[in-house]
Amino acid sequence: MFDLAMMMAKILVILGCTLGVVPFLVWFERRGAAWMQGRVGPNRVGPFGLLQSLADVLKFMFKETFVPAKANKFFYLMAPIIALIAPMCALSVIPFGSKVIVNGQEVFLQIAQMDTGVIFILAFAGLEVYPIILAGWSSRNKYSVLGALRGSSQIVSYEISMGLALLSMLIVFGSFNPYDMVAWQKETLFGFLPRWGAFVNPFGALVFWIATFAETNRLPFDLPEGESELVAGYHVEYGGMKFAAFFMAEYVAMIMASSLLVTLFFGGFNMFPGMGMLVDLVVNQFQFGAVGLQNTTAFFEFASFFTKVAFFMFVMIWIRWTLPRFRFDQLMDLGWKVLFPLSLINLVVVTIGVYYFNS
């Protein structure tokens, strides 16, 4: 009973955080874009325009549920559902804190604790290509099929470099369990640098980071929905709440990719250097015992995980409004001729390095 309640609470926290943050992200994307382009942006609905997304959702809700006449209705309706569910499932193995102690029992802050965590994430990250293909194909539109083709070829070519970068990290960590990976990154390098994956394996981090942009179809790799060429790409035939589902899925996928990046390369929920003093300060201030210490630590760990993910989300938005879209052949060149060999060489170097250090 206790386990069930705790599990429900964790799912609620993760779902609430993810879906609750999406409207803010949409708002920030639009407002941030406006600021970067010297505009004002949406600022009419609510304070600073913060309720703009709610107004949009209200509008989406009252739109007609339209299905194109020749569309394959089953796949057409299934695509946005998969798009939203796949990244959310992948989030369930990302640890967002070490553990809290409730009623004298330890609760690990991770929905699903499994040893094959990374494989699980990869499986669900790989599922992200299906909604694009399904949506593009089932809506019987030339533009959406073109978008789907672009999306699938792009994701396939970037998934290889992403997987190789991940593999190099697996060799470093020696584990598939995200929780162990974060624990490994708790140590320090040379006494001052936190032993984060990005400091151990910077090339892997760079390749993985670039691949996450391509995986989430964000600019500069947003060819599946290149507005200027394909109207809206694979979701051109979707309207109302179904479009909103795709839109939300993009942000959930961004959150998932950022948290995966943070977990693998930027120390996961490990606190920033110097944050331990803050924990001590709070614990001494309120005279907490061992339980209080653990819970305070968990809170600060969650806060630092949140901050890291928020930073990478910000960078994603920042990059989006900085870089223009790649041409398709440039994209393929970058994927196959630059990132793929780079990640292969990196894998070999990391393997030799790990063998040398461990022996």
Partner 1 sequence: MGTINISKKYTAKQKSYIPAILVGMKITMKRFIQGFFFRKHDTIMYPEVRRKYSDRFRGMHFISVDPAKTENCTACFLCETICPAQCIHIVADERDEDENPYGVKKEKKPVSFDIDALRCCFCGFCEEACPKDAIKLSGNYELAVSSREEAFYDLDHLKRPMNGRNEK
* Interaction of residue 163 with partner 1, rule CB under 8 A: no
* 9 Cβ contact partners less than 8 Å away, ≥ 6 residues apart: none
Could you tell me which of 202, 209, 159 has the C-alpha nearest to residue 346? 202
* Interaction of residue 8 with partner 1, rule CB under 8 A: no
Q: Which of 8, 40, 54, 345 binds partner 1 (CB under 8 A)?
A: 40
> Which residues, listed in sequence order, are joined to residue 193 by a DSSP beta bridge?
189
Pairing of strands 99-102, 193-194: unpaired
Number of H helices, E strands in the chain: 15, 4
Q: Which of 39, 59, 73, 142 binds partner 1 (CB under 8 A)?
A: 39
The token duo for 254 is: 């961004």
- Single out the segment in contact with partner 1 by CB under 8 A; choices: 2-10, 33-41, 134-142, 266-274: 33-41
Q: Which of 35, 66, 74, 355 binds partner 1 (CB under 8 A)?
A: 35
In 178-188, which positions are buried (b, 16+ CB within 10 angstroms) versus exposed (e)? bbebbbbbeee
- Single out the segment in contact with partner 1 by CB under 8 A; choices: 31-39, 179-187, 249-257, 278-286: 31-39
Distance CA 162, CA 261 (A): 11
Give 244 or 334: the residue with its C-beta nearer to partner 1.
Answer: 334
Give 186 or 325: the residue with its C-beta nearer to partner 1.
Answer: 325
Q: Which of residues 305-324 bind partner 1 (CB under 8 A)?
A: 318-319, 321-323
* 350 Cβ contact partners less than 8 Å away, ≥ 6 residues apart: 168, 171, 172, 201, 204
- Single out the segment in contact with partner 1 by CB under 8 A; choices: 30-38, 194-202, 228-236, 348-356: 30-38
* Interaction of residue 7 with partner 1, rule CB under 8 A: no
Give 38 or 47: the residue with its C-beta nearer to partner 1.
Answer: 38
- Helix axis angle for 2-36 and 240-265, nearest 10°, is 100
Give 9 or 40: the residue with its C-beta nearer to partner 1.
Answer: 40
Angle at 161 between CA 175 and CA 233, to 5 degrees: 125
Please check whether residue 234 is in contact with residue 136, taking contact to mean a CB–CB distance below 8 angstroms.
yes
* Interaction of residue 34 with partner 1, rule CB under 8 A: yes
Give 19 or 332: the residue with its C-beta nearer to partner 1.
Answer: 332
* Interaction of residue 37 with partner 1, rule CB under 8 A: yes
Give 31 or 235: the residue with its C-beta nearer to partner 1.
Answer: 31
Q: CB 50 → partner 1: shortest distance, Å?
A: 14
Query: Contact positions toward partner 1, by CB under 8 A?
Result: 32, 34-40, 318-319, 321-323
